[in-house]
Structure 1
Amino acid sequence: MVREKFTERQEEIFRYFKEGKIQELHRLLVKTEQDYPERMEKICLWRACAFASQLEYDAAISVLQEAIHNGIWWHPQLLKNDSDLKPLHEKKEFTEILAQCFKQFEEHKIKAESKLFIYGNKEANTSIYSLHWRGGNAEDFSSFWLDNKTERNYMFGFPQSSQVFGLHAYSWDDKQKAMLEIQPAYEEFQKTFAAENRIVGGASQGGALALELCLKEQLLKVDGFIAVIPVIKDDNFINSLISNEIIPPLRGCLITGDQDPFFKQTAELQKELEDINIPCKLIIKKGMGHSIGDDFTKDLTDAVDFILNVEE
């Protein structure tokens, strides 16, 4: 499946924010609105943040109000935590926007259902079941993992949580509920395609959860794991993963950036896994923070080859 990645445009937008190129950013957002009209929830938020960074607070409020009028909304906490929007907190209009977002959030929570997106080669010997990150969705997340080569070589399953985080955004915050959705969908996925080699993967919150499911809980019967920028907040997470006396016969790969806030914990986890005889490759991307690099599909192939013990 060949597709232009919205994530690549997103990285360009973030770079303009970081470099303070706000006028260029506004022009890029106009183009992004033309190219990706289905992603207006992100575009409107970025535009509001851009105005706020220019101290044009009324313009920022106006953008958010118009978006709400058009059926767009965000997780209230996302708006409150955004540093660019902090100057808006004392405005009555911003409080009203938060209230409307909270109402939409509660309504969408009731209606949301888990889903499974499937891509790739149905005849492939290797299947990869990958969990999206917090605040994302399976369809967007899949674009990082898919290119002509990976879709030809692997079968992919991307479960999407029913736990609403925002418009087109979901999380795995309720771990018990997540397991009740992930495990049966995984079992059905494997029954349908019956790949010889089975790998579980994920990124950020989904990466940490993938590790727990195959190492600690052992709910997913797999041959290996690929955890990308996993959220590992403290050593208790690492210790809990390896506390089980029965060590599953796994191989795995951790992919992280040296600027990721969880880099140290991820590197330590790799050593701990090796110490208990779980071969684990650590791929470190120089200069990368809590994100996925443009060349991720190459790293994915390297990770799969390591898990399957394919000699170079």
Structure 2
Amino acid sequence: MIGIPFDGPEKIRPVANDRARYRAMEDRIFAHYRAGRHAEGAALARTAYADLPDWRADLAHMAACLLVKDGRPAEAYAEMAAALAAGAWWHRRILVEDDDLAPLRELPDFAELVATAHDRAVAAASQARPPLVRRPLGEPVGVLVALHGAGEDADDAAGAWASAVDVGWLLLAVESTQRNTPTYRSWPEHEVAVRDVEAALANLTPAERALPLVSAGFSAGGRVAIRWALAGPAVAFIAMAPAIDSEQVDASLAGAAVRRELSGHVVLGSEDGDVRDGALAAVATSREIGLVCVLDEVAGLGHAFPENFADRLPKLLASARNKGKEAGAPSAPVKSAD
């Protein structure tokens, strides 16, 4: 039996420099994983617990995966149980869908660990953070709904899309309620993502909600921005490195989207090995179903924002206000330098 006291969901809001240190550590651990150095990777993850306590759940999950790969499932389970006892939790999906953890599912106490961890995840999801609202000095010309990428939060979205406010747009940065761990948010279930966005819009005044609306997002947030825009009410979408494929572009919504002149702009790095193939296929499908979808390929850029994105965004928004009529639907991508 796992008997673990719990005082409620952790209220973690990591500072930026801590997150940068965690990501550097994560890269080192994954390098061991890819190289087959499972014991070394697990040991490295364990050494980071004290220095990165907010990421105990993430580090323990990685350590457990590596321990299983190293042929030590009982030790892997003990690692996760210890993290759970320290207040960590995980959403059920990463415990039961991660192939690396498959051997743990045969252990007698693992089902109870999953249940306890998932209860905490559900409790944390019920404590939604209000969106960040950034209003321009004068009357706004429109509303930009900005969605963060996986592993990020509303603060990241507000920072990345901040230059919209300088050119008169109201910026609404939405935070996903879907978390795999206390620190890892994403948008895996689209219906839940839509509820999060609609709940965030309720924080605006009726007059603000009546303004032209553009959906925007990075990576997983870019996928939601595109799919939500297809269903309305956005007049345009701006997707930065969207984690999407052609099957997620709902052709059944195309007719209504085309009639209301929905347009889109996808910015994609030429060296983005994470999402490039799927995003290109999604752009092609969008055009096939009749949407105006401009593809801006940034030379040399990986899975990230261009360094000059703050300067690019006002131009993208100006195009979006006109529903892409000036840009049209080019037969070839727009090529640009970072």
Shift of residue 42 of structure 1? 0.5
Structure 2 equivalent of residue 255 of structure 1: 268
The TM-score normalised by the length of structure 2 is: 0.67
String of CA shifts for 1:255-304, please: whole Å, max 9, x gaps.
3666447724x32332354564624114378896xxx34xx243745763
String of CA shifts for 1:178-235, please: whole Å, max 9, x gaps.
43441352474698999x9974222454322211332x222235x5412433333627
Shift in CA distance, 45/258, structure 1 to aligned 2, threshold 3 Å: same
The TM-score normalised by the length of structure 1 is: 0.72
Shift in CA distance, 146/35, structure 1 to aligned 2, threshold 3 Å: farther
* Cα distance between partner residues in 2 of 1:145 and 1:20: 38
Amino acid at match of 1:252: H
Indicate the RMSD between aligned Cα atoms, in angstroms.
4.2
- Of residues 270-279 and 35-44 in structure 1, the stretch that sits farther from structure 2 once superposed is 270-279
Structure 2 equivalent of residue 202 of structure 1: 217
* Cα distance between partner residues in 2 of 1:261 and 1:56: 33
Map 1:1-312; keep pairs closer than 5 Å: 3-4=16-17, 5=20, 6-22=22-38, 24-26=40-42, 28-30=44-46, 32-109=48-125, 111-117=126-132, 128-133=144-149, 136=151, 138-139=153-154, 142-143=155-156, 146=159, 151=162, 153-155=163-165, 157-163=172-178, 165-170=180-185, 172=187, 175-176=190-191, 178-183=193-198, 185-186=200-201, 188=203, 199-214=214-229, 216-221=230-235, 224-232=237-245, 234=247, 237-244=249-256, 245-248=258-261, 250-255=263-268, 259-260=273-274, 263-264=277-278, 266-274=279-287, 276=290, 278-283=292-297, 292-293=303-304, 296-298=305-307, 300-301=309-310, 304=313, 305-306=315-316, 308=318
* Cα distance between partner residues in 2 of 1:9 and 1:191: 45
SS in 2 for 1:161: coil
- How many pairs are equivalent? 293
SS in 2 for 1:33: coil
Shift in CA distance, 273/86, structure 1 to aligned 2, threshold 3 Å: closer
Task: Give yes or no for contact 1:133–1:205 (8 Å, CA) kept in 2.
Answer: yes
* Cα distance between partner residues in 1 of 2:55 and 2:176: 19
Greater helix proportion: 1
Shift of residue 104 of structure 1? 2.7
Shift of residue 78 of structure 1? 0.8
Task: Give yes or no for contact 1:238–1:269 (8 Å, CA) kept in 2.
Answer: no
Unaligned stretches of 5+ in structure 2?
Answer: 1-14, 166-170, 320-326, 328-333
SS in 1 for 2:245: coil
- Of residues 33-42 and 64-73 in structure 1, the stretch that sits farther from structure 2 once superposed is 33-42
* Cα distance between partner residues in 1 of 2:133 and 2:43: 36
Shift of residue 50 of structure 1? 2.1
* Cα distance between partner residues in 2 of 1:59 and 1:285: 46
* Cα distance between partner residues in 2 of 1:88 and 1:285: 44
Unaligned stretches of 5+ in structure 1?
Answer: none
Shift of residue 48 of structure 1? 1.5
Amino acid at match of 1:225: I
